[in-house]
Chain A
Amino acid sequence: MAPYSKDARDQAIGWFNRLQDPKLDEAGWQGFTVWLEAAPEHRYAYDAVEAVWLGFEPPSSSASAEVISLDSRRAKPAPMFRMPQAAAAALALAVLGVGGAGFLVTRPAPVETYRTAAAEVRTIDLKDGSRVVLDRASTLKVAFTRKHRRVELVSGEANFAVAHDASRPFVVMAGDQKIQDIGTEFDVLSQAQRLRVTVSHGMVAVGDATGGDPGYQLAAGDQFEQRRGQRGVVRRVEAATVPAWRNGVLVYQDAPLSDVAADLGRYLATPVKLGPGTEGMSFSGVLRISDGVSMIDRLEAFLSLHAERGPDGVVLTKTGG
């Protein structure tokens, strides 16, 4: 979207507040019109505020609303309202209904959120007997109901060992993909630009969360990777029973440096970006997972890079011209 100043943003928020009043009079609306007309950036700023406001609604039909769990609070037991049009299946996670001038009220199903710290790996035993190992600096949400076992890997990486329950499919949401367990053990990496699923045991289906079409079927030893804006790729990998990160190492083979930077960003809890000279670089090697700073140091040494640490994160550039 087009840029706007902080002032414009604050004014836009002020107008948003006024517009929320059902008793706003005609003069108020006229004032809003005049403010919008005063400068293009006012409109842009208001677009941004409204985009956030509307952004909390699922972008497409109610069928895809199951993708995201919206409430991380463990609510006091509250009645579940049903949306008139949506299938019951779509209600397992919190869903927003949109209707006319207001919003339908739906109480969320209880959702549990797990968040690991930068140096913490946590094993979570779920109520159905499944086990999740959550990697460092990762966030996982769990919403089980009588009919569904739904989990969302908001960011980071997790290893899933799924207990068999034919009546309740175990579904992992990551980004806009849905990973359905048809078998038992798999690893999911979820980042803003990249989704990766590696299967150790059994079978997994990966597909778009909105459609019914499962897309890809993966068996043990298959790895699915999709980068944002590109189509997914399936490759064979060594079917290790335990992924490398659980042994405290990251193993890279001809990995684009941007992938390594994204992983390091998670452990450092600060963005790691690539600067001049790093275009097209790849990395093969092993990084022991320790504190992010040491990992960066090691990468600097391996690849003759220099890490510039600033308030907005770390920038890696090539040394030696």
Chain B
Amino acid sequence: MSLARSIPSPLLAAYFERRPALKRFFQARFGASPAEADDLLQDLYLKLAETGEAAGIADHGAYLYRLAHNLTLDRIRASRRALARDSAWRISNHSLARQEDLADLPDAEEAAASKQRLTRLVTALDTLPPQTQRVFRMHKFDGLSYAETADRLGISKSAVEKHMTTALKRLVQQVGE
């Protein structure tokens, strides 16, 4: 139980208190089975042990949910990477093993499709009005929060939200599944 010692007790207490709620969150986000959700909770616990407690967390619950949500994003990224790695191997090797029939590999298609999707996303982004593009790029590529973006551009936070809504609607429509 040496890990338990490295997690500050208020945060640890908050974790155990919210464990059922966090499990429910994982199940809701992924449609995960109880076993899969338990697996994610383990990862969350480990993540807690790694990151420790940033000084002065006001809302432990929100902090834990945020960590859990980041975990879900990491999972999605990891599965996309795994697909692409798989595909890269196959594509780079098929010139050597021409007997292989790549047509039957759905993974390879999906991974190639995700790279195509990136190109299409960027092209679709280009079609948005300039200010909307600006807001989207600042938030996505420069990592600014809505509040920071609003500050930089001298517009309101709700204006930033409207731009993001416009951008996401268009992108999901044009390139979404």
List the interface of chain A (C-beta within 8 A of B). 1, 9-10, 13-14, 16-17, 19-26, 28-30, 33, 36-37, 40, 43, 46-61, 64, 67-72, 94, 96, 98, 100-106, 113, 139, 154-155, 175-176, 192, 207-211, 213, 215-216, 228-232
Chain A nearest CB, measured from B105 CB (Å) = 7
Chain B nearest CB, measured from A142 CB (Å) = 15
Q: How far is the CA of A176 from the CA of B142 in the complex (A)?
A: 25
A43 contacts B112, C-beta separation under 8 Å: no
| Chain A residue contacts of B31, Cβ below 8 A | 40, 43
| Chain B residue contacts of A49, Cβ below 8 A | 168, 172, 176
B116 contacts A175, C-beta separation under 8 Å: yes
| Chain A residue contacts of B117, Cβ below 8 A | 55
Q: How far is the CA of A25 from the CA of B121 in the complex (A)?
A: 31
**Chain B interface: which size bin?**
35 or more
A103 contacts B143, C-beta separation under 8 Å: yes
Which of B65, B84, B102, B176 contacts A231 (CB under 8 A)? Answer: B102
SS of B interface (majority): helix
Q: How far is the CA of A51 from the CA of B72 in the complex (A)?
A: 12
Q: How far is the CA of A213 from the CA of B97 in the complex (A)?
A: 13
Task: Jot down 12 A-B pairs with beta carbons below 8 A, ordered by A.
Answer: A13-B172, A26-B65, A48-B177, A55-B175, A56-B140, A71-B141, A94-B141, A101-B66, A105-B142, A210-B84, A211-B92, A229-B112
B172 contacts A9, C-beta separation under 8 Å: yes
B161 contacts A60, C-beta separation under 8 Å: no
| Chain B residue contacts of A69, Cβ below 8 A | 122
The answer to whether A1 and B177 touch (CB under 8 A), given A9-B172, A26-B65, is: yes
Chain B nearest CB, measured from A21 CB (Å) = 7
A53 contacts B77, C-beta separation under 8 Å: no
Q: How far is the CA of A282 from the CA of B2 in the complex (A)?
A: 70
Which of A60, A70, A101 contacts B88 (CB under 8 A)? Answer: A60
Which of B62, B92, B109, B177 contacts A229 (CB under 8 A)? Answer: B109
| Chain B residue contacts of A10, Cβ below 8 A | 169
Chain B nearest CB, measured from A121 CB (Å) = 21
| Chain B residue contacts of A13, Cβ below 8 A | 164-165, 168-169, 172
Residue of B30, B92, B140 most packed against chain A (CB within 10 A): B92
A16 contacts B168, C-beta separation under 8 Å: yes
Interface positions of B from 1 to 39, Cβ below 8 Å from A: 21, 24-25, 28-31
Which of A21, A52, A58, A208 contacts B171 (CB under 8 A)? Answer: A52
Q: Mark B50-75, 1 if CB is under 8 A from A, else 0.
A: 00000000010110011001100100
For the A-B complex, the count of residue pairs with Cβ-Cβ distances under 8 Å equals 193
Which of A54, A101, A175 contacts B115 (CB under 8 A)? Answer: A175
The answer to whether A56 and B121 touch (CB under 8 A), given A25-B62, A43-B29, is: yes
Say whether B91 faces chain A, with CB atoms less than 8 Å apart: yes
Which of A14, A192, A208 contacts B91 (CB under 8 A)? Answer: A208
Residue of A24, A67, A210 most packed against chain B (CB within 10 A): A210
Chain A nearest CB, measured from B88 CB (Å) = 4
Tell me the nearest residue of chain B to A94, going by C-beta: B141
Chain A nearest CB, measured from B136 CB (Å) = 9
Q: How far is the CA of A84 from the CA of B81 in the complex (A)?
A: 19
Which of B77, B143, B169 contacts A57 (CB under 8 A)? Answer: B77
Tell me the nearest residue of chain B to A40, going by C-beta: B31
Residue of A21, A52, A94, A96 most packed against chain B (CB within 10 A): A52
| Chain A residue contacts of B88, Cβ below 8 A | 60, 64, 208, 210-211
B143 contacts A104, C-beta separation under 8 Å: yes
Residue of B30, B61, B65, B169 most packed against chain A (CB within 10 A): B65
Chain B nearest CB, measured from A215 CB (Å) = 5
Q: How far is the CA of A216 from the CA of B93 in the complex (A)?
A: 11
| Chain A residue contacts of B175, Cβ below 8 A | 52, 55
Chain A nearest CB, measured from B9 CB (Å) = 19
Tell me the nearest residue of chain A to B108, going by C-beta: A229
Say whether B152 faces chain A, with CB atoms less than 8 Å apart: no
Q: How far is the CA of A105 from the CA of B177 in the complex (A)?
A: 28
A72 contacts B116, C-beta separation under 8 Å: no
Which of B80, B111, B121, B146 contacts A20 (CB under 8 A)? Answer: B146
